[in-house]
Chain A
Amino acid sequence: MSEAAYNFAYLDEQTKRMIRRAILKGLAVPGYQVPFASREMPMPYGWGTGGVQVSAAVLTPDDRFKVIDQGADDTTNAVSIRSFFERTAGVDTTTKTAEASVIQTRHRIPEEPLTEDQILVYQVPIPEPLRFLEPRESETRKMHSLEEYGLMHVKLYEDISRHGHIATSYAYPVKVEGRYVMDPSPIPKFDNPKLGDMAAIQLFGAGREQRIYALPPYTQVVSLDFEDHPFEASKADHACALCGAEHSYLDEVIVDDSGKRMFVCSDTDFCESRRAAGHVGEQAA
């Protein structure tokens, strides 16, 4: 089959319309999980089928597209989704955060602040923050609609009683505009403060679970916590070994068999542009 046989961005127009409707509803009710008729995509569940469908629905031929996976532009997931849209939509792609108009992400928010001209699309494995506490979907929906969120604190309570502090370090639950409790997808809690008051539109797509939710620009997002155990955005206590950044989220990389390790920025674009600007870390070659 020739590639021209694909509709722009793979999905047919009716499907994109249906997804756009879900996105609009999500934007109108921030943090609310909107059900949508998720399509079978040419990639396995767990590889970002939700994010890909949302991206397909928002992409226009003039867009410049960027994909990151755990902050990196060059990992399998990012490379394959980028080439997917290069082939099926023919849009320009980039690895530069500032140049992209649509950024699809798995498990990170770029370090560089986003602008009002950008859309950030998250891949979400499990959209329901209450899932592991209350397995019945009928019940969790009721809890959302009646704003019964005591259970979410039970999870944090369990963390403190077991570890002495809130040990949840990713997919840290947040409350949106004082109403819906939302799973921010498995981003590190270091990124949680960036969710709130962000200039860009944030869209969340969960393909297998058939849910879309969204945060419009400049939405209030608060991480849940206890009065005596306040929320803390944590990161590894090091500077990036390559670019020397003190305040970016770091990956720990094991470098040899004797357990030597280095800490590098997980956001590859951020790290590269810092190095290009002349910043040097301890182990920069």
Chain B
Amino acid sequence: MTPLLSVQGITKTYGAHIGCADVSFDLYPGEVMGIVGESGSGKSTLLNCMAGHLVPDAGQVVFDTRSDGPRDTVTMSEPERRMLGRTDWAFVHQHARDGLRMGVSAGGNVGERLMAVGDRHYGDIRDKATDWLERVEIHASRVDDRPTTFSGGMQQRLQIARNLVTGPRLVFMDEPTGGLDVSVQARLLDLLRGLVRDMGLSAIIVTHDLAVVRLLADRLMVMKSGHVVETGLTDQVLDDPQHAYSQLLVSSVLQV
């Protein structure tokens, strides 16, 4: 089976400072990978390198494209990469404001990707947008409201709807539950888990919240100071951490 995404030796430095160093892994279709680590450990740098927002200094990000099979997205031309970015890929930002157009209605936000890939029928776009709002538990009557009138949790769900409307195959998530209160987090995670399973999505989730990866991720990668210190199945890593830092991370979770 061809991996959907194959990352080989990704390295990114900021001057003398290491962002992430020599990270390699394969992600298979339908798999959810969690990346955990403390702040500044290079999780987001790695994610941005994979999603094409940053250019890595070395390494390959090979994505199994629909049309031409496996292609290295780092060396692929920018139009092609941007096309992937609005069709097969989705990127969920930590702050919904970064991923949404705050001056545009919810329907317009969801419809943007559809229009970007060539939909030119207002009625169809609107129907799809409404459908997606309902799938992320936003009432259809809010379709013409701006995201500024939404709560934080709703904004995050809107961002997810906006990203998933074109049926991507790979979703990058950067702390999708950060900044939300725990009950809203729980609902969002429920929703995400349902969507990932229903649509057979592959996802890479960056987070420092171990509960999030426990719920969503099949596999886990623990990062520290730009290096991957431990990888394995989620339950395996969380229940029996081998590396000293993983042990520290797992033991730091507050038990209620």
A interface residues with partner B (beta carbon < 8 Å): 133, 146, 148, 150-151, 153-154, 157-158, 160-162, 226-229
Contact = CB atoms under 8 A, between A and B. Distances in A.
Interface of B: 78-79, 82, 86, 101, 104-105, 107-108, 111-118, 120-123, 125-126, 143-144
B101 A154 contact: yes
B117 A150 contact: yes
A158 B115 CA distance: 12
Given A146-B79, A150-B117, A151-B116, A160 B122 contact: yes
B121 A150 contact: no
Contact of A148 (B82, B101, B126): B82
A151 B121 CA distance: 14
Contacts of B125: 157
A160 B108 CA distance: 10
22 contacts: A133-B101, A133-B104, A146-B79, A146-B82, A148-B82, A150-B86, A150-B116, A150-B118, A153-B115, A153-B120, A154-B111, A154-B112, A157-B108, A157-B111, A157-B115, A157-B122, A157-B125, A161-B126, A162-B144, A226-B122, A227-B120, A227-B121
Contacts of B79: 146
A232 to B, nearest CB: 14
A151 to B, nearest CB: 7
Contacts of B123: 228
A162 B145 CA distance: 10
B136 to A, nearest CB: 19
Nearest to B111: A157
Nearest to B113: A150
Contacts of B101: 133, 154
Contact of B144 (A146, A148, A150, A161): A161
Contact of B112 (A150, A160, A162, A229): A150
B121 A228 contact: yes
Going nearest first, the 9 A-B pairs with the smallest beta carbon separation are A150-B116, A150-B115, A153-B115, A226-B122, A227-B121, A146-B79, A154-B108, A161-B144, A158-B108
Given A153-B115, A157-B115, A161-B108, 13 more contacts: A146-B82, A148-B116, A150-B86, A150-B117, A153-B120, A154-B111, A154-B115, A158-B105, A161-B107, A161-B126, A161-B143, A226-B120, A226-B122
A229 B115 CA distance: 14
B121 A226 contact: yes
Contacts of A157: 107-108, 111, 115, 122, 125-126
A52 to B, nearest CB: 33
A245 B120 CA distance: 36
A182 B125 CA distance: 24
A228 B127 CA distance: 13
Contacts of A153: 115, 120
Contacts of A150: 86, 112-118
Contacts of A146: 78-79, 82
> Which of B79, B112, B115, B117 has most A Cβ within 10 Å?
B115
Contacts of B115: 150-151, 153-154, 157
Nearest to A132: B103
Contacts of A229: 122
A281 B208 CA distance: 75
A154 B103 CA distance: 11
> Which of A148, A154, A162 has most B Cβ within 10 Å?
A154
B205 to A, nearest CB: 27
A234 to B, nearest CB: 18
A155 to B, nearest CB: 8
Contacts of A151: 112, 115-116
